[in-house]
Amino acid sequence: MHDGPKDPSPWVTRFIDGAQTGGSVLDVACGSGRHLRHALEKGFVVTGVDRDLSDAEDLGDRGDVALIEADLESGRPFPLRDLRYDAVIVTNYLWRPILPDLVGCVSNDGIFIYETFALGHERHGKPSRPDFLLKPNELLLAVLPRLVVVAYEHGETGGEKPKIVQRVAACGPKHPWATDTPAALG
């Protein structure tokens, strides 16, 4: 059972429209499917992968949804490593061995939207183990040089439950944001 946020991440909502209209979206460690649902509302075809899909199973009967139950930390190869998507989304999840596969799943004109906890977050609670906290610039190093970084943040969020996070939005080298129409700054 997932007890995470219900609304999509503002980082995801800010950049998801950079994916090709009607295109394919991969949500890794999709949890309850908050980003799958958001992408469906925007007209995308979605694939969600997680080791527990019980909170997203209501989406399973739709023709524009694929749900893949997989333990991404099992040591087996990433199950979608040879596929390409118009958008790859990852939030609140880090398993370093699959980072190169996730970046590789982004089509040449696709986008990569990633947001998770970073070192320093341990003072706010879990996750607190360094295995699950990004090191400084780690997301930048993961996407470069294959993808073009559109936006990057590393810092502390405000609000009731502060977090230390890193966020990156990057695009493939043939995406308009990389060539002739940069993303609007928010």
By the 8 A CB rule, do 61 and 73 touch? no
Tens of pLDDT, residues 5-60: 689 999 999 999 999 999 999 999 999 999 999 999 999 999 999 999 999 988 88
Tens of pLDDT, residues 76-132: 999 999 999 999 999 999 999 999 999 999 999 999 999 999 999 999 999 999 999
By the 8 A CB rule, do 101 and 39 touch? no
Instruction: Give which of 117, 118, 124 is closest to 136, Cα–Cα.
Output: 118
Euclidean distance between CA atoms 87 and 128, whole angstroms = 29
- Please state, as a whole number, how many other Cβ atoms lie within 10 Å of the Cβ of residue 13: 14
Euclidean distance between CA atoms 47 and 83, whole angstroms = 11
Domains along the chain with CATH numbers? 10-175 (3.40.50.150)
Tens of pLDDT, residues 23-33: 999 999 999 99
